[in-house]
């Protein structure tokens, strides 16, 4: 997002708090509050400048729920049953334990996107299907009621489209509780890095970097020159897995420390002031879109 903002100075960028989405599973008000401030502070700490990004809370914007309702009425059950988010929930839980809005989650995501006529949606590999659904439902509405929504395009960086957990199998995810968080302290990061499973090769043996969970995480933090040098060390002899883990930890903390220092400087009041300012901007945009939608479907006489 930051790179896109620099490369496209005349474009508008919207970044929101996914608290309406968390509520499908998190029903603890204090946890919701803490998570909300944590995420928004992390956005700012990572470099999202409120002067360049519109950062907002969709739960304060009625248009999200309103458009969600409209799109739900033109979405078939069979289509939602194909969604990865629902299939993952079925795999993890008994069907009686799945909330209705876990099933409807992609519809809310489509509303989030279409409400602001987004041209592009940065996403990971696991979210690409949801953006494709937003495209499908936009085209369906446009064909039925007339041109109303911009049909969005998914935008993926192949280098970070899917980041695997240290087992090399599962993705890093809040849902799997297996991520290294941006605000994890040094001891926590070190413990997680030490637990990364490794191969059986000795120090004297060469190692295939692409098959190493340590390398596949480490390369995300390396320059091209550093990556070339590390691959050469893997293919030669003399690199221990302990040394590889130490190097990964060093690179992670070099990346995380400035973010955490900035994070600790941001107050709750600064977040509240930012949301209050952005609320008026997004309300004006969303109200116009909802009015247009309601006129098309004759909710407004």
Mean pLDDT of 145-154: 96
Task: Give me the pLDDT at residue 162, please.
Answer: 67
Q: Considering only residues 34 and 128, tell me which one the structure prediction assigns the higher pLDDT.
A: 34
Specify the pTM.
0.87
Mean pLDDT of 182-202: 92
Mean pLDDT of 246-273: 97
Phi and psi dihedrals of 293, rounded to 5? -65, -50
Q: For residue 269, which of 29, 44, 7, 24 has the smallest C-alpha distance?
A: 44
User: CA geometry: angle at 84 spanning 149 and 177, to 5°?
Assistant: 115
pLDDT tens-place string over residues 82-112: 887 777 777 777 767 777 877 888 999 999 9
Task: Give me the pLDDT at residue 264, please.
Answer: 97
Q: Does the pLDDT of residue 172 top 70, yes or no? A: no
Tokens 């004006």, located at residue: 284
Reported as a pLDDT band with limits 50, 70 and 90, residue 226 is: very high
Fold of the domain built from segment(s) 2-158+267-296: Rossmann fold (3.40.50)
Tokens 């994890």, located at residue: 184
CA 66 to chain centre: 23
Q: Does the pLDDT of residue 161 top 60, yes or no? A: no
Identical fold at 2-158+267-296 and 186-262? no
Mean pLDDT of 184-197: 92
DSSP state of 95: G
Reported as a pLDDT band with limits 50, 70 and 90, residue 49 is: very high
CATH number for the 186-262 domain, one of 2.130.10.10, 1.10.240.10, 1.20.59.10, 1.10.357.10? Answer: 1.10.240.10
Reported as a pLDDT band with limits 50, 70 and 90, residue 272 is: very high
Q: Does the pLDDT of residue 259 top 70, yes or no? A: yes
The conformational region for residue 275 under phi > 0 = left, psi -120 to 50 = alpha, else beta, is alpha
How many C-beta atoms surround the C-beta of residue 149 within 10 A?
A: 25
- What are the b/e assignments for 249-280, b being 16+ CB within 10 Å? bebbbeebeebbeebeebeeeebeebbeebee
CA distance 271 to 274: 5
The residues near 202 (Cβ < 8 Å, ≥ 6 apart) are none
* Residue-range domain boundaries for the chain: 2-158+267-296, 186-262
């Amino acid at each position: 997002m930051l790179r896109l903002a620099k490369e496209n100075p005349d474009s508008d960028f919207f970044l929101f708090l996914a608290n309406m989405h968390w509520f499908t599973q998190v029903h603890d008000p204090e946890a919701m509050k803490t998570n909300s401030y944590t995420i928004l502070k992390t956005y700012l700490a990572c470099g999202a400048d409120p002067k360049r990004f519109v950062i907002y809370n969709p739960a304060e914007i009625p248009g999200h729920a309103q458009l969600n309702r409209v799109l739900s009425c033109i979405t078939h059950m069979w289509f939602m049953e194909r969604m990865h988010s629902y299939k993952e929930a079925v795999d993890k839980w008994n069907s009686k334990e799945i909330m209705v809005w876990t099933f409807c989650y992609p519809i809310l995501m489509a509303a989030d996107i279409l409400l602001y006529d987004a041209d592009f949606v940065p996403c990971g590999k696991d979210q690409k299907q949801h953006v494709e659904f937003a495209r499908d439902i936009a085209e369906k509405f446009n064909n039925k009621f007339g041109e109303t929504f911009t049909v969005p395009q998914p935008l993926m960086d192949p280098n970070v489209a899917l980041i695997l957990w240290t087992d090399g199998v599962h993705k890093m995810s809040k849902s799997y509780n297996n991520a290294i968080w941006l605000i994890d302290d040094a001891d926590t990061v070190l413990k997680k890095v030490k637990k990364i499973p490794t191969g059986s090769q000795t120090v004297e043996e060469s190692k295939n970097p692409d098959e190493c969970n340590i390398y596949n995480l480490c390369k995300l933090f390396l320059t091209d020159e550093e990556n070339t040098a590390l691959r050469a060390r893997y293919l030669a002899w003399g690199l221990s897995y302990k040394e590889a883990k130490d190097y990964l930890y060093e690179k992670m903390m070099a990346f995380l420390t400035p973010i955490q220092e900035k994070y600790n400087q941001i107050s709750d009041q600064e977040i509240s002031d930012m949301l209050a300012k952005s609320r008026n901007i997004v309300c004006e945009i969303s109200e116009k879109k909802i009015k247009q939608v309601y006129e098309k479907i004759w909710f407004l006489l």
